[in-house]
Amino acid sequence: MKKIATILACVAFAGMAQAQQTLPDPARDYGSNTAGYMFADVLAARDNPAFNRAIAATPPMGWNSWNAFRCDVDETKIRAMADSMVSSGLAKAGYRYLVIDDCWQSSRNKDGVLVPDAKRFPSGMKALSDYVHGKGLKFGLYSAAGYKTCQGRPGSRGYEWTDARTFADWGVDYLKYDWCYMPAWQEPFDAYARMRDALVATGRPIYFSASAGLRPDVLEWAPQAAHSWRFNKDIRPCWDCTGDRAANGIMSVLDRASQLQVALRVRPGSWSDADMLEVGNHGLSMAEQRAHFALWVLLASPLMIGTDLRTLDPEALDLLRNPALVSAHQDPLGMAGFRYRDFGDTEIWRRWLKDGADGKRRDMFVLLNRGNQAREIELEVDPDTVVSDMMASMVAVPVIGQSVKLTVQPHSATVLHVAGMRFKN
């Protein structure tokens, strides 16, 4: 017994030595040292107490280039988006992060440092970051845990420490980290924790967004490794997509959120990411966009706008700036909503909000009509509750008896704020 304990202690010690020796080494090439790499992973602590969760006390709000521009992104567009975020009032409403998704990278230099695409970003990332910061916004970039990004650009695998240092030097405040070109044996937690810890080591507070939505096990490891975690395939601007895209529509993201019970893992500092918004994009009616936005608020998902702000129509802009919805999204209690009633084509979703100053309970309800015909939805409420319409400047909604009955149009939602409910499941 004693002998076994001694052997185990020696193994653990050797492993610690390995981890201590190798983890802080910026130039470490994991790819050529698979055994040490795996051993360090086994020993890696699951949580890093120095990981700054306070910067994610409420879910982030911002803009990301992917849904709007895919790979057709460049510094002129990014500067224009920064300008628009300020002039449109979105920055004032709370949208702070401006994130460049995939395709900004071209190669690595002789020191292994990432080089931005010189044609699209001739001024370099530091200058762009300075510009964004000069507008009072925060700057974000994208990389991937694999050998390559999902669009085949250089990935961070084996270069985590170099890349984290580079991002910090460029003034990056937000990193979206994807999951492509990974060896099949790779434990996702270890790959993500490695970048998380490299970011921590830079000393710069950087929001860390895990984008590994295709992995079915994401809830088992991502909440410890990142500030937010995707749980679904890439979103598309359709209510119920069909064919190959059946898993990409708004309703399917919602079903996935319910199926995985993502709300149980959400708390301040750790958010489920329903993917970037499609508000403003062709493919969704205005009613569908309203429902989509309200549901993302209810899920406490990051609100990353994914449209060209130069051509955003006023109705969509008003939706994104809706004060009641933004305030519910940023609710300090930090709980995510869940499917509260399921009547088939119609559903009620509920998010508990922080009690009001008067001590009254506050709830957000989304009365959702998924179907193709107008339907009446009834929400039971307690006596003396005050019900308001969050989409319509908090106008009072009449309570008759102990319920609110509203006709909800097809593919749309009515969003209610209810003050004074007693606890009900």
Residues making contact with ligand GLA (CB under 6 A): 66, 101-102, 142, 149-151, 178, 211, 213, 234
Concerning whether 234 is annotated as a catalytic residue, the answer is: yes
Neighbours of 376 (CB within 10 A): 11
Question: Cβ 124 to ligand GLA, closest distance in Å?
Answer: 21
Question: Cβ 317 to ligand GLA, closest distance in Å?
Answer: 23
H-helix or E-strand containing 11? helix 2-22
Q: Give the whole-angstrom CA distance, residue 155 versus residue 375.
A: 49
Cβ nearer to ligand GLA, comparing 211 with 252: 211
Pick the closest to residue 190 from 42, 325, 81, 60 (CA basis): 42
Instruction: List phi, psi (to 5°) of 212.
Output: -130, 50
Cβ nearer to ligand GLA, comparing 136 with 152: 152
Q: Give the whole-angstrom CA distance, residue 366 versus residue 316.
A: 19
Concerning whether 178 is annotated as a catalytic residue, the answer is: yes
Cβ nearer to ligand GLA, comparing 213 with 249: 213
Residue type, 137: L
Question: Cβ 180 to ligand GLA, closest distance in Å?
Answer: 7
Q: Give the whole-angstrom CA distance, residue 76 versus residue 204.
A: 27
Cβ nearer to ligand GLA, comparing 28 with 230: 230
DSSP 100: -
Question: Cβ 73 to ligand GLA, closest distance in Å?
Answer: 11
- Out of 102, 163, 173, 178, the active site residue is 178
Q: Give the whole-angstrom CA distance, residue 318 versus residue 279.
A: 11
Cβ nearer to ligand GLA, comparing 102 with 163: 102
Cβ nearer to ligand GLA, comparing 102 with 173: 102
- Out of 83, 169, 234, 255, the active site residue is 234
Instruction: List phi, psi (to 5°) of 381.
Output: -130, 160
Reported in sequence order, the residue ranges of 306-357 that DSSP labels E, i.e. its strands, are 338-342, 346-353
Cβ nearer to ligand GLA, comparing 142 with 174: 142
Pick the closest to residue 159 from 31, 298, 303 (CA basis): 31
User: Do 51 and 226 touch, CB atoms closer than 8 A?
Assistant: no
| Residue 308 exposure: Cα atoms within 13 Å on the Cβ side | 11
Reported in sequence order, the residue ranges of 109-186 that DSSP labels E, i.e. its strands, are 114-116, 138-144, 174-178
Cβ nearer to ligand GLA, comparing 101 with 288: 101
Cβ nearer to ligand GLA, comparing 167 with 338: 167
Helix or strand or coil: residue 350? strand
356-362 long-range Cβ contacts below 8 angstroms, 24+ apart: 356/419, 360/419, 360/420, 361/419, 361/420, 361/421, 361/422, 361/423, 362/417, 362/418, 362/419
Question: Cβ 152 to ligand GLA, closest distance in Å?
Answer: 9
Q: Give the whole-angstrom CA distance, residue 292 versus residue 238.
A: 10
Residue type, 410: P
Pick the closest to residue 249 from 370, 360, 158, 330 (CA basis): 370
CB under 8 Å to 99, separation ≥6 — which residues?
Answer: 62, 63, 64, 65, 139, 140, 141, 142, 174, 176, 304
Residues with a catalytic annotation lie at: 178, 234
